[in-house]
Chain A
Amino acid sequence: MSRILVIDDDVDLCDLLTDYLTPEGLEVESVHEGERGAARALSGDHAMVVLDVMLPGISGFDVLRRIRAGSKVPVLMLTARGDEVDRIVGLEMGADDYLPKPFNPRELVARIRAIQRRVEPRPEAEQNAGKRAEKVVVGDVHMDPRARVVVQRGHTVELTSVEFALLEVLLRTAGQVVTREDLAKEVLGRRLTPYDRSIDVHISSLRRKLGHQVGDMERIKTVRGTGYIYTLPPDAAGNGPERR
């Protein structure tokens, strides 16, 4: 049973969520204020954190900053609907996904499942797709999906789970265009809603962490109106990503 930490000041909503999520096989722990929420999230007892942006005392963003300073635990932000800035800020600060409030709890369960799939790939899925576990090397980036590490020129790059999944898809299809829709389906496990900039924000985080340029070429190119393409190093062009 997965333990989920819900940080939300709405006590009644937390109770309702506990009622709803428990039958889904999710154990819910509720915390109603930010300071203690951040402390609990850093304890390592939870598989995931659901974090409300609007909290009394320290805000959800501050809680997120504290969590990210010490943990890579997946974080799902609950934002006010229509407040696009909140979403983008949350994603930029390392949240894995967001859900505008009020939300349909079925949607919440779907997002939680998507994050779970990403973080703990089921053993049978790994067996079915053996290549999933293979190491990927494209240019200066080495990825080991099994150990969940990315090494760039000898240095480990710290990525959140969603960034890791996104980079994996991009590296496996390096040199080819991947549409934003496909990325959303593979990485976030959902369809993009209109004006959803989640993928774009995660891409820009990847660019920031890996460097915008590889050699004198752009690392991750934007194909306007379609999606993204991870640039193959010139010598490997046409051969596809190297597998070891």
Chain B
Amino acid sequence: MRSLFIKVFLWFWLATTLSGLALFLIGLATQTGPPAEHRRRAVEQVRQLAGQTMALYGATAARLLEQGERTALDEYTGDLERTSGIRIVLFLRGNETIFDRKTSPQARRLAERVAGSGRTEVEDAGEAVWLATGVLGPQGEPCVVAGVLEGSTLRAAVPPVPASGLWTGFLAEFPRFARGFSVPSLVSFVIGGLVCLGLAWHLTAPLRRLRSAAQRLAAGDLTSRVGAGPVRGRDEIAALGRDFDLMAARIEELMTARQRLLRDISHELRSPLARLTVALELARQRSGNDAASALDRIGREAERLNDLIGQLLTLTQLENGGDRKAREPVPLTPLVEAIAADANFEAQTRQCTVRAIVDDEVMVEGSEEMLRRGIENVVRNAVRYTAENTQVDISVSRHRGASGDSAIVRVRDHGPGVPEGALSKLFLPFYRVADARDRQTGGTGIGLAITERAVRLHGGTVTAANAPDGGLIVEITLPISQPAAP
């Protein structure tokens, strides 16, 4: 696939998929494996130690309170804070608040949670860590003691992550983690894909429109424009579309002017010719026999001039691309038979015959009119040069080639042939192999050039070669029309 759309789409999709994969790996590395496990265990350990410590402190504090030594308790908590950093802030016996150093909602909430769960609760509030645990009072009544550990004392107690053994743990954890991740990742893969599809489509749509407009222009539709609708905005592609439209408008203008000019020239040149031929006949009626040969000559020259104008117009039309709209299936075999029949009629004046040898039914695609002119010019040329009492053979055959079948029209005369060096120039306009003889036979020098243009417009080629036993062989190869590709 070379389409820009596919490229853009696949790259975008790859990018989103890769970023998703990166997220997955980061998640995997932080949420699972030895580092995460290590941290979990360390926190649990700290929680137990802290719980035990708090329970111990709490029991002592409870006893001191029981003995009613309030000052001793204050001293004790003061010592405790200095030595271990833990400050006892709340003491509950049953539902009774015995001691509340610094009522804070955190301590109270934590204490209530302990009363519910009965185990040690730890809450990491960033700057400080709150601890609460349940203890038994001197009479065996349940009590809760809560304290705060300021600073990063507790966090410093968590040891750093060990560097070794990362991959074994990582890989061991992978299936479990991937299972949890598979649905979200699949969803993001599909949604990412859809979004990328839309994005790529959106980016390349103006280009596709531009391309189809260019194709239509190339196919001869001079009114083809990108238009303001599909390519909006001020981006580069929109600018390109506007420039394309300007270019197409200019081309259309030029082509129309050129066609009008050609038509006008044809008309303007032929009007005097029409008058001349009528005047010539009037002159013929009114003059004696003395002038007859000169008048005949004028008539012939006028006819030649007219032919030349016609052929020049044809050649110009073909170089303009001809009538490209005329794409119809053309049965080549009957066409060649008809050309042969007509040429045979003309050849009789030179005691020559034209034979068509066809055995294949061959269809080509294009303009019948153009193909007819192309083939006819070759046949006429052959009739003109073949020796008297000889024949011109035309054959149509099918040739199987690597790039599809082709039709070969071969025209062979029995004339003098053409010097090897001139063979390739035969199809140039006004090229003459031998001036004097050509004039005598009435050629305009454009016929084979028309053939070459016509055949080329149909995607074919035309070549000329000398036959080993004399005479010229012109071979026209045309691609055979295939069933239209979907």
Q: Which residues of A contact B (CB under 8 A)?
A: 10, 12-13, 16-17, 19-20, 23, 54, 80-82, 84, 101-106, 194-195, 224-225
Contacts and interface: CB of A to CB of B under 8 A. Distances in A.
A16 B306 contact: no
Contacts of B376: 194
A20 B274 CA distance: 13
Interface in B332-384: 334, 337-338, 341-342, 369, 372, 376
Contact of A13 (B271, B334, B372): B271
**Chain B at the A interface: SS class:** helix
B473 to A, nearest CB: 23
A45 to B, nearest CB: 24
A203 to B, nearest CB: 16
Interface stretch (B15-23, B240-248, B278-286): B278-286
A82 B446 CA distance: 15
Interface string B294-327: 0000010010001000100110000000000000
Contacts of A10: 271, 274-275
Contacts of A194: 342, 376
Contacts of B273: 102
| Top 10 A-B pairs, shortest CB-CB distance | A102-B274, A194-B342, A16-B278, A102-B273, A82-B310, A105-B281, A105-B278, A13-B275, A102-B277, A101-B274
B285 to A, nearest CB: 7
- Residue of A10, A80, A102, A225 contacting most chain B CB atoms (<10 Å): A102
Given A81-B310, A225-B334, A54 B267 contact: yes
B282 A19 contact: yes
B38 interface: no
16 contacts: A13-B271, A13-B274, A13-B275, A20-B281, A54-B267, A81-B310, A82-B310, A82-B314, A84-B369, A101-B274, A104-B277, A104-B299, A194-B342, A195-B338, A224-B334, A225-B334
Contact of A16 (B270, B275, B314): B275
A225 B335 CA distance: 10
Interface residues of B, number: 28
B278 A20 contact: yes
Contacts of A17: 278
A101 B271 CA distance: 8
A12 B271 CA distance: 10
A81 B273 CA distance: 12
Given A82-B310, A82-B313, A224-B334, A104 B342 contact: no
Nearest to A21: B278
Given A19-B282, A101-B270, A195-B342, 8 more contacts: A13-B278, A80-B266, A81-B270, A81-B310, A102-B306, A104-B281, A105-B278, A225-B337
A162 to B, nearest CB: 23
B276 interface: yes
A106 B285 CA distance: 11
Contacts of B271: 10, 13
B313 A12 contact: no
B267 A80 contact: yes
B450 to A, nearest CB: 11
Contacts of A12: 275
Nearest to A108: B278
Interface string B57-101: 000000000000000000000000000000000000000000000
A102 B276 contact: yes
A16 B281 CA distance: 10
A101 B273 CA distance: 9
Contact of B372 (A54, A82, A195): A195
B285 A23 contact: yes
Interface string B3-29: 000000000000000000000000000
A92 to B, nearest CB: 16
A110 B278 CA distance: 14
Contacts of B341: 225
B202 to A, nearest CB: 45
Contacts of B306: 81, 102
A80 B268 CA distance: 11
B275 A105 contact: no
Contacts of B369: 84
Nearest to A196: B342
Contacts of A23: 285
A4 B313 CA distance: 32
Nearest to A12: B275
Given A81-B310, A224-B334, A106 B270 contact: no
A102 B279 contact: no
- Residue of A17, A194, A224, A225 contacting most chain B CB atoms (<10 Å): A194
Interface in B236-293: 266-267, 270-271, 273-279, 281-282, 285
Contacts of A104: 277, 281, 299
Contacts of A16: 275, 278-279, 282
